[in-house]
Amino acid sequence: MAGIYGLSSLVLDNKGRIAMPAKYKEQLKELAAGSLIITKDPQYPSLLIYPGNLWREISNSFENLSGLNPKLRALQWNFLGNAHQIDFEISERMNILFPQPLREYAQLKEKQKVVLIGMGQKFELWSEKNWKIKESGKEIKGERIDIELPEEVRRIPF
């Protein structure tokens, strides 16, 4: 099975949706089991988009972390607490709606360009502006480069 790779420049419509590029539809049919999970990236002002099958594995790993460690608990709140499930059918124009709180976090605005990046088994969604800043090597407003991941989290392939 082929992975999800490549960069696509898209426009967020006036309802906060993107049309999923056709090149990803076959992979999503295999990987997603009819759902995508969208959540906040804990390090950058961007969104992580997981196919349903992969999300189950990753969320189980996060759920099994100790809630007694404040750093782990904060990561669980950020990652699991902000997750939204989007159910879909593979269609000619497969629109994905991004909830308003997640759009605000990732600094995504309607009718502006966004960048969808295939990262193997998941996607990242960035505002085009922030992606260009990141590519230039500069720091983005809202970036948490000093985030220190506990050992238990570093083993989770998120």
For residues 143, 145, 146 and 151, what is the CA-based torsion angle, rounded to 10 degrees? 110
pLDDT digits (tens, 9 = 90+) for 40-78: 998 899 999 999 888 888 888 888 877 777 878 888 888
The token pair at 47 is: 């969104």
CA 118 to centroid of chain Cα atoms: 10
Taking the C-alpha atoms of residue 114 and residue 120, their distance in angstroms, rounded to an integer, is 19
Q: What are phi and psi of 154, to 5 degrees?
A: -60, -20
Spatial CB neighbours of 64, under 8 Å, sequence gap ≥ 6: none
Thinking of the domain 4-154, which architecture would CATH place it in?
A: 3-Layer(aba) Sandwich (3.40)
Query: Residue 121: what residue type?
Result: Q
Domain ranges (residues) in the chain: 4-154
pLDDT in tens, 97-145: 999 999 999 999 999 999 999 999 899 999 999 999 999 999 888 776 6
Q: Give the predicted TM-score (pTM) of the model.
A: 0.88
pLDDT band at 1 (very low <50, low <70, confident <90, very high): very low
* Amino acid at residue number 77: W
